Amino acid sequence: MSDTISARVTPADSTAVRVAEILLAFGAAADPMGITEIARATNLSKAVVHRIVQTLCTTDLLVQDSRSRKYRLGMAAFVLADTAAQTSRFRSASMDILATLAEKTGETTTLSGRVGHRRVYLAQVESRQLVRISVQLGAAHPLTAGASGAAILAHLPVAEAEAALHVPLERYSAATVTDPEQIRERMRLVREKGFARTTGERVKDSTGFAAPVFSPADEVLGAISIAALTSRLNPAREDDLADQVKQAAATLTARLSDR
pLDDT in tens, 235-244: 999 999 999 9
Q: How confident is the model at residue 82 (pLDDT cuts 50, 70, 90)?
A: low
Given a cut of 60, whether residue 3 has pLDDT beyond it is no
Q: How confident is the model at residue 232 (pLDDT cuts 50, 70, 90)?
A: very high
- Rounded Cα gap, residues 212 and 219, in angstroms: 10
Q: How confident is the model at residue 171 (pLDDT cuts 50, 70, 90)?
A: confident
Given a cut of 50, whether residue 12 has pLDDT beyond it is no
pLDDT, residue 83, reads 60
Overall size of the chain counted in residues = 259
**How many Cα atoms are found within 13 Å in the side-chain-facing hemisphere of 75?**
1
Report CA Rg, the chain: 19
- Rounded Cα gap, residues 252 and 238, in angstroms: 21
pLDDT, residue 206, reads 92
Average pLDDT over residues 203-231: 93
Over the chain, what is the mean pLDDT?
Answer: 87
Average pLDDT over residues 115-144: 87
- Rounded Cα gap, residues 184 and 177, in angstroms: 11
**How many Cα atoms are found within 13 Å in the side-chain-facing hemisphere of 238?**
14
Given a cut of 80, whether residue 161 has pLDDT beyond it is yes
pLDDT, residue 85, reads 63
CB crowding 3-24: b at 16 or more within 10 Å, else e: eeeeeeeeeeeeeeebebbbbb
- Rounded Cα gap, residues 219 and 157, in angstroms: 9
pLDDT, residue 60, reads 86
Least confident stretch, 43-47, 73-77, 177-181, 235-239: 73-77
pLDDT, residue 76, reads 83
pLDDT, residue 29, reads 81
Least confident stretch, 15-29, 70-84, 177-191, 194-208: 70-84
